[in-house]
Structure 1
């Protein structure tokens, strides 16, 4: 079993134009900035509004990133859909274009499904993509999907597909679950969804983190991921926690986009696709005051 990826990945926020079409130029610009700050690209994640994007939009955006010279070896696109055929199309496309892996939600419409049913779903995807290049990362986010990925299922998938199922993102927010996975599956690439777990997870072998706030604080999170065991580790953890705690007290996607709009000087970033809504004005004011209080900045973002 190989640990294909490590480090910090951002579920890249997706910019939209006033007509709600995707702003591909702005998407490339932000992705390039993130990579220049040391972050990999977990495009089409939860905070990317991925499930508000069509299969075609996702494929076109991925192609645009690669055409513009961004390295697919540091890309982990989200490909999981409710439909097997959509998931296969996105996953095969990611493999063919050279992405390092595919981050795959379980099918999330039907609730109360069994581990056997989820196993069949993932096994079917693997069989249909039919590529030794496929590196599949499971995506455990039960608060959104209502479909947990259990340790029993992980064990079964690793056993049957050791060269394909190589990692997981755990967005449960449950340290006991993260810790149990780290202890049960050494060598499996486990990414907590919050940098707040890094100082506890890295000593147990966590590969890094895939964090929403890597969109706006990539350098500090990347430094913590690399230096957690140094003398300045506790201070680095405290600094990223301060930023994380501010953002997670707001609707995360709207807050990330507003901050990006503010620090880039581009108000287009404030647009979200329905049914989401932008932060109301009082929350925008409050968020900026909190960020100014901790001297927060996004250097190099503004053109």
Structure 2
């Protein structure tokens, strides 16, 4: 029997580090649980998770340790894509061992100008080597970062060849025309725009929800809008989540999210990022705080375990 279609709001959970640049696991697990308790799924090891600053061993370790912390893996979609096919295979197999809902797979992003034939071969080899009927693969279209777009033609070829494995797409291009084309051409796939700002346009066309950076700080409101996009008051809810997103978009996104989380929880170590990324300046921190206060925004409290 086919797996249920994944839907809702998913956070590319940000990754806290210690001053020594190790992963702060306790803070990480607490944040993941907080997100799920406020209605969000987890797209761990995403772009805003600093996934490409994490080693293969670290990603596997984090999944292993999360399994003892009450995380709902049926609402967890880890990023497993990398430049080396064997790494992507290993991470994807590891996610399946934990019963994750699927895997979100970047194209191999070092070589640019590769053909759809080459990308088809990469994803095909991944599926064949994982060799697990439970694999649900979500293609990750983020050409601004990867430099390697996932075309509509490639999606069609893969979905036709692997109808049980190709489950959906995350579209991080920010181009409404491309999102709309995906929704109209692939109604059987779970299409996730990468911003909540598209929800009330995309959900009527069959979007599955969104996978958005700002779910890290605003999970309840965005999850509620995913579920209630046709209800009275949805337009006002859309305007409010848009307002908060626009504030964060003015700053380096990862640094802004981490500062806001650390400020709300009184945990300054949240500002640490692995080089080459840098935290917000004091001026940026003050400006962000003032804008969030003017918008009446405050993060929900972190519950104690």
Band of TM-score, shorter chain: over 0.9
**Structure 1 residue aligned with 2:134:** 133
CA separation of 1:213 and 1:297: change in aligned 2, threshold 3 A: same
Name the CA distance, whole Å, in 2 between partners of 1:196 and 1:135.
26
Name the CA distance, whole Å, in 1 between partners of 2:10 and 2:82.
21
User: Residues 115-130 of structure 1: matches in 2 within 5 Å?
Assistant: 115-130=116-131
Q: Which moved more, 1:91-100 or 1:66-75?
A: 66-75
1:194-221 deviations in whole A, cap 9, x for unaligned?
A: 0000010000000000000000000110
1:96-133 deviations in whole A, cap 9, x for unaligned?
A: 11101000000000000000000000000001000001
TM-score (normalised: structure 2): 0.98
**Structure 2 residue aligned with 1:10:** 11
**Structure 1 residue aligned with 2:28:** 27
Name the CA distance, whole Å, in 2 between partners of 1:115 and 1:2.
28
Aligned residue-pair number: 303
**Structure 2 residue aligned with 1:218:** 219
Q: Secondary structure at the match of 1:67?
A: coil
**Structure 2 residue aligned with 1:46:** 47
**Structure 1 residue aligned with 2:190:** 189
Segments of 5+ residues of structure 1 without an aligned counterpart are none
Q: Secondary structure at the match of 2:83?
A: coil
**Structure 2 residue aligned with 1:177:** 178
2:258/2:270 contact within 8 Å kept: yes
1:302, distance to aligned residue in structure 2 (A) = 6.6
1:263/1:302 contact within 8 Å kept: no
Q: Secondary structure at the match of 1:190?
A: strand
Name the CA distance, whole Å, in 1 between partners of 2:72 and 2:102.
13
**2:79 is equivalent to residue 78 of structure 1:** yes
**Structure 2 residue aligned with 1:284:** 285
Q: Which moved more, 1:64-73 or 1:169-178?
A: 64-73
1:136, distance to aligned residue in structure 2 (A) = 0.2
1:3/1:189 contact within 8 Å kept: no
**Structure 1 residue aligned with 2:260:** 259
